[in-house]
Amino acid sequence: MYKDLDDWFVREVLPQEAALMRYLRRNWRDANELPDLRQEVYVRVYESARTRLPESASAFLFTAARNLLIDRARRAQIVSIETLADMDIADLVADELTPERHAGARAELQLLQEAMNELPARCREVVQLRKIDGMSQREVAAHMGIQEDTVAKQIAKGMRVLADALLMKGVATRLARLDARLRKKGGEN
């Protein structure tokens, strides 16, 4: 049971970001538009879920993604969108390497540490002092000899880079799990 819609969204939809991005990347030519597309899909899913929570967050997510791409393609007057329309959602869900939603603590930690490596040097230092050493932003500023304002800016930047690194990458499922999904193709996940 979810505390509220936000809770549902964070627990059921966000973990699928990596799979969603792979889908969008494969089906949309302009890579620059992907973050916007992603956000637009999320908005549609969130607003629909306000009326009623879908039974399967992933089927719902990918249906919304497909419909968005069809709309966009139509607006941009891209020819032959039939290929998109014909794609069976059940196939999509089965074929995707769905991120393991509740990755073990160790896998999660590894993911986080890898994500940290994506941060620019100064940003990483700030995030390390804040998150690992547990310093407050004020203390980080004092320790590094920079303005508190700068620390806040670096934190903001760090959050965004970490989000892209963590959510867009996800954790690949073990083959056994993918296998089970393919066998259950078309059924409720």
Site for other proteins in 73-112 (CB under 8 A): 105, 108-109, 112
CA-based nearest residue to 169, from 90, 108, 95: 108
In whole angstroms, what is the distance from residue 23 CA to residue 65 CA? 8
When the beta carbons of 163 and 182 are compared against other proteins, the nearer one is 163
Q: How far is the CB of 155 from other proteins (least distance, A)?
A: 4
When the beta carbons of 94 and 166 are compared against other proteins, the nearer one is 166
For residues 147 to 176, the per-residue mask of contacts with other proteins, x marking binding by CB under 8 A and - elsewhere, is -x--xxx-xxx-xx-xx--xx---------
DSSP alpha helices (H): ranges in the chain?
A: 5-8, 17-27, 34-51, 57-75, 82-86, 89-95, 105-117, 121-131, 137-144, 148-169, 175-183
In whole angstroms, what is the distance from residue 109 CA to residue 116 CA? 10
When the beta carbons of 15 and 96 are compared against other proteins, the nearer one is 15
Q: Which two tokens stand for residue 53?
A: 């929570």
Site for other proteins in 115-154 (CB under 8 A): 116, 127-128, 130-139, 143, 148, 151-153
Binding site for other proteins (CB under 8 A): 1-3, 6, 9-10, 14, 35, 39, 42-43, 46-47, 105, 108-109, 112-113, 116, 127-128, 130-139, 143, 148, 151-153, 155-157, 159-160, 162-163, 166-167
